[in-house]
Amino acid sequence: MTIAEATTVIDGWEPVIGLEVHVELKTATKMFCGCRNEFGGAPNTHICPVCLGLPGSLPVLNRQAVEFAMRVGYALNLNIPERSVFHRKNYFYPDMPKDFQTSQYDEPITEDGWIDIEGVRIGIERAHLEEDTGKSTHVGTSGRIHGAEYSLIDYNRAGVPLLEIVSRPDIRSAAQARAYVAELRAVLFAIGVSDVKMEEGSMRVDANISVRPVGRERFGTRAEIKNMNSLRSLERAVDYEIRRQITELESGGTIVQETRHWNEDDGRTHSMRSKEGADDYRYFPEPDLVPVAPSLSWREEVAAQMPELPAQRRARLVERWGISADDADVLVAVAGLADYAESAVDAGADPVEVTKWVTGDLLGRANESGLSPAEWKVTPHYLTETLALVADGTLSRNLAKTVLDKVWESGDAPSVVVDREGMAQVSDSDELGGLVDALLAEHPDDVVRYREGDEKSQKKLLGFFMGQLMKQTRGQGNPGVLNQLLRDKLNGA
C-alpha cells in the first residue's frame, strides 16, 4: 500500500490530522546567550543570567539559529519573509525562567511551504523559532506537577533554540502521520540542523486530530495528543485517537477540545486538562529584540550551501548504485546510514554489497544497541576492508559475519581479528583434499549410499558431509572448494 492510499476511512468517518513538530536546533550555543547547547551535563551547569531570566538580563539572538531556520525554510519550500519578529508568549510555568516564552507569532521566520511524501503533498503552514524551557522532575506519586511532593528543575535546556514546524491539516491517517514525520526527520538530519532524536526529546511531535463524515468540508472538534516518543508510538497514538473519536461520536457522544496524553503502556490517550476557550497567551512583540531581517546576500549564501535533500539522494542512489528504491529508502531514512554507506563505497567497496550488509546485518545490530552509524565500531573503512576479504576469497560470507561480530564488539581492524582468531578461509586443495579423503574413509556406508541414491538423498548426504567438513575446519574451509572436492571424490574421480 502506498502512502497516498494509506488514508483511513472507518464507517464513513475521515480523520483530519495536523502535526506540530518541535525540533531542537544543534547550534553551538543557546538561542539568546553564550551558554553551551548540549544534551546531558550535570543539572544547572549550562546556565547564565540570561537563560535563567534573572532581573536585568537581556537576550541577544543567535545568528546560527536564524541560519538553521533559513536552511529548514529552503528544504521545506517555505518562504523566508524579509522581516520576522519575536513575540512573548505569556504564561506561568516554573521551568520557564521568565514566565514567558520568547517565540514567534504573526511574523515567523518562514511560512507557507510543503513537503512531498511519495507523491502526497503535505502543506506546511510555518516553521518558527522559539526557546525551549527547562526540565522539571516531579517527585512524588504521579510523576506530574499535580500531586507532586516537590519538583526539581534543571535549566540546562532553558533557552535552547527550537524550531516549531506546523503542518497544515492535510494528513489523513496514522501511517501518513508517521511517513510525514519520518521524512521531516530525514530532511532535518540531512541539512545538519538537528539530531532529531525523538527518544531524547530533540524532536517532539504533537498531533491535532479530529474526525468528520467523509465529504463534509468543516472540521470536527479536535484533540491535541502529546507524549509520543517514537515513530511507532506516534502511529499507534494517532490510530487509537482516530478510533476513539469515531467510537465516541457513533455512540452519540461529543469530542471535547482538550489536550490528551498518550500512554505507551496501556495504548490509550488520556485527558490532561480541558481547553475550553483557548488559553490567552497575551502575545506582544518582544521589545528586547529587534526584528530579524536576513540580508539578500546572507539568504543567497545559505541557499547556495544547501546540501542534497533525502528525495534527491534516494533518486541518486537508485540510479548510480543500481539498488532498489526500498533499499534507498532505508539508507536515507535512518539518520547517518546513507553517509555511512557512501563512505564505504568511496573507500572502494561495491555499492550493492555495501547496501546489503548495511541495511541487513549492521542495521540489525544497530537497532539492538541504539547506536547511530557514526558511533559504530565497524567503521565504513572496516566494512570495506571486510568486503575486500570476502572478494579475494580470504573470508566466506559466514566468516565475514563472524569477523564483523568481533569488530563490532572490539573495534579492532578486520585484518587484526582474522589474524588473531586464525579465521582466514582455507582454500588450499591439497590440504582440504586430505580432509575430504579422511572423512569419506570414516563413512564408507554413506559413500555407497550416495553413489546408489537418488538426487534427493545425494543432496542430503552432500549437506551432511559439508557440515562435517565445516565443523572440522571451524568454518574456515572454503565452501566452494570443499564442495567441488566432495563431488569429485564421491563421483569416483
Partner 1 sequence: MTDAITSKTAAELAGDFRDGTLSASEIVDAHLDRIEALNPELNAFLYIDADRARRRAADLDAVRAAGNEAGALAGVPIGLKDLLCTEGIPTTAGSKILKGWRPPYDATVVSRLEAQGAISLGKLNMDEFAMGSSNENSAYGSVKNPWDTSKVPGGSSGGSAAAVAAGMVPLALGSDTGGSIRQPAALCGVVGVKPTYGRVSRYGVIAFASSLDQIGPFGRTVADAAFMLEAIWGYDHFDSTSIEEPPTPVGSVLDDGVQGLRVGVISELANTEGLQPEVAAALQRSAGQLAAAGAIVDEVSVPSIEYGLSAYYLIAPAEASSNLARYDGIRYGLRVEGPDTAATNRLTRAAGFGDEVKRRIMLGTYALSAGYYDAFYGKAQQVRTLIIDDFARAYERFDVLLSPTSPTTAFGLGDKVDDPLAMYLSDVCTIATNLAGAPAMSVPVGKDAHGLPIGMQILAPALGERPMFQAGAALEAAASFNAAEKTGGAL
User: Does the footprint of partner 1 cover residue 301 (CB under 8 A)?
Assistant: no
Dihedral over Cα of 325, 326, 332, 337: its sign: negative
Which three-class secondary structure state does DSSP give residue 368? Answer: helix
Q: DSSP assignment, residue 197? A: -
H/E stretch holding 484 reads helix 479-490
The one-letter amino acid code at 309 reads L
User: Does the footprint of Zn ion cover residue 35 (CB under 5 A)?
Assistant: yes
Q: Work out which of 23, 27, 37, 53 binds partner 1, going by CB under 8 A.
A: 53
> How many residues touch partner 1 (CB under 8 A)?
32
* Strand arrangement, sheet containing 13-24: 110-117, 120-131, 161-167, 13-24, 203-213, 223-228, 258-263, 268-274
Shortest distance in whole angstroms from residue 49 CB to Zn ion: 7
- Contact pattern from residue 84 through residue 113 relative to partner 1, giving x for each residue in contact according to CB under 8 A and a dash for the rest: ----x-x-x-x--xxxx-------------
Q: Work out which of 6, 61, 311, 440 binds partner 1, going by CB under 8 A.
A: 61
User: Does the footprint of partner 1 cover residue 140 (CB under 8 A)?
Assistant: no
Residue ranges of alpha helices (H) inside 334-428 are: 337-346, 351-357, 363-369, 380-391, 397-410, 414-421
Q: For residues 76 and 366, what is the distance between their CA atoms, to the nearest angstrom?
A: 29
Q: DSSP assignment, residue 358? A: I
User: Does the footprint of partner 1 cover residue 295 (CB under 8 A)?
Assistant: no
User: Does the footprint of Zn ion cover residue 193 (CB under 5 A)?
Assistant: no
Largest CA distance in the chain: 97
Complex with Zn ion: residue 48 or 148, whichever CB lies closer: 48
294 binds, among Zn ion, partner 1, none (CB under 5 to 8 A by kind): none
Complex with partner 1: residue 145 or 214, whichever CB lies closer: 145
Q: DSSP assignment, residue 171? A: B
Site for Zn ion, residues 46 to 105, rule: CB under 5 A: 48, 50-51
Complex with Zn ion: residue 158 or 418, whichever CB lies closer: 158
Beta strands per DSSP E along 57-142: 86-90, 100-104, 110-117, 120-131, 135-140
User: Does the footprint of partner 1 cover residue 272 (CB under 8 A)?
Assistant: no
Within 10 angstroms of residue 435's Cβ, the number of other Cβ atoms is 17
Complex with partner 1: residue 289 or 462, whichever CB lies closer: 289
Complex with Zn ion: residue 94 or 411, whichever CB lies closer: 94
The three three-digit cell numbers of residue 352, written as one number: 550493492
The three three-digit cell numbers of residue 128, written as one number: 518558527
133: left (phi over 0), alpha (psi -120 to 50) or beta: beta
Instruction: Please choose, out of 34-42, 85-93, 283-291, 416-424, the segment that lies near Zn ion by the rule CB under 5 A.
Output: 34-42
Complex with partner 1: residue 146 or 456, whichever CB lies closer: 146
- The CA–CA distances, whole Å, from 431 to 22, 419, 426, 427 equal 64, 19, 8, 8
Complex with Zn ion: residue 33 or 238, whichever CB lies closer: 33
Shortest distance in whole angstroms from residue 287 CB to partner 1: 4
146 binds, among Zn ion, partner 1, none (CB under 5 to 8 A by kind): partner 1
Complex with partner 1: residue 292 or 390, whichever CB lies closer: 292
- Contact pattern from residue 157 through residue 176 relative to partner 1, giving x for each residue in contact according to CB under 8 A and a dash for the rest: --------------------
Binding stretches for Zn ion (CB under 5 A): 33, 35, 48, 50-51
Residues that bind partner 1 (CB under 8 A): 49, 52-61, 88, 90, 92, 94, 97-100, 145-146, 151, 153, 278, 280, 282-284, 287-290
